[in-house]
Amino acid sequence: MVNAIMTAQPGPDSGPFERFLLWLSPDRDLALKMYREIMRKIIKYFVRKSCDDPEELFCETRDRVIRIISDRAQYDNPEALFYSVATNVWREERRKTKPEPLPVDDILPLPPQETDEKERKSRCLDVCLAKLQDSEHALITIYHQGHGLSKIEARRLLAIEHGGENNLRIKTFRIRTRLRACMDGCMNGPRVN
């Protein structure tokens, strides 16, 4: 059913997915925008619940919501409905599988020997770091340098400069998010030599 919903082309006699989009909004473009936002949030929810395959669980959630809507039930808040269904999906998933510890090799970063993939990532990171503004570059550098007490002290001083620990945390998080997005673009684009 997942594939049928995802691959079906919308036609004048709307199928379940089209009815679902209509339920989100009569404006189709807006409905797609809302759908993407809900997808992002629900996948994030499953990531936070440390599920093995958040995307798959989102698909399960979406399909259930579509069935509920198709049964002509009245729900005014799409996010609330998605969330309610997602929590059920998560509980079932939790009951179904008992998490096994992953092998350590699968968790730790790549060992320091040079690999082609790692080199490419390093180059992409260089490119993305160069795109940061000077102030952002300085902030992220100081934030991630050092060890132990010197690192704690550096961050304490940064926190004073940037309006508190929480503000500093959010600022550096946003910089890292942009760097990750930039790296994804770089890794998926043409090779950088």
Partner 1 sequence: MTSGFPTEGTIRQYLLGRLDDQEQLEKNLSQQMLLNHELSEIVDSIEDEIIEDYLDGSLSAADKKAVEDYFLRPAERRKKLEFAGLLRQRLGRRPDVRPKPAPVIVPEPAPIFPGGGRDSGLVNHWRSHFRTYCELAALVVFTVSLIYGVKVHHDLQSQLEATKKQLEQEHDRAINLAGQLQEIQQPVARLTFLGPILRDTPDTHVLEINPSTQRIKVEIGLQGRSEGAYDVRLETQAGAQIWSQTRLKASSNGLRFEMPAQNITTGAYCLAVNSQPERYCFHVKVTR
Footprint of partner 1 (CB under 8 A): 41-42, 44-52, 54, 79, 83, 87, 94, 99, 101-102, 104, 106-110, 112, 118, 121-122, 125-126, 129-130, 134, 137, 140-141, 144-145, 147, 151, 166, 169-170, 172-174, 176-177, 179-180, 183
Q: Could you tell me if 62 and 39 are in contact, meaning their C-beta atoms sit under 8 angstroms apart?
A: yes
CA-angle at 121, arms to 118 and 126, nearest 5°: 130
Q: How far is the CB of 189 from partner 1 (least distance, A)?
A: 17
The tokens describing 157, both together, are: 């001083």
Cβ closest to partner 1, residue 19 vs residue 174: 174
The tokens describing 33, both together, are: 């925008």
Q: How far is the CB of 56 from partner 1 (least distance, A)?
A: 11
Q: How far is the CB of 142 from partner 1 (least distance, A)?
A: 9
Cβ closest to partner 1, residue 12 vs residue 109: 109
The tokens describing 167, both together, are: 């503000």
Distance CA 18, CA 28 (A): 9
Cβ closest to partner 1, residue 14 vs residue 53: 53
Distance CA 154, CA 18 (A): 54
Q: How far is the CB of 72 from partner 1 (least distance, A)?
A: 26
17, exposed or middle or buried, with CB in 10 Å at 0-12, 13-18, 19+?
buried
CA-angle at 142, arms to 150 and 114, nearest 5°: 100
Q: How far is the CB of 4 from partner 1 (least distance, A)?
A: 26
Cβ closest to partner 1, residue 3 vs residue 133: 133
CA dihedral 102, 104, 106, 110 (to 10 degrees): 160
Cβ closest to partner 1, residue 24 vs residue 140: 140
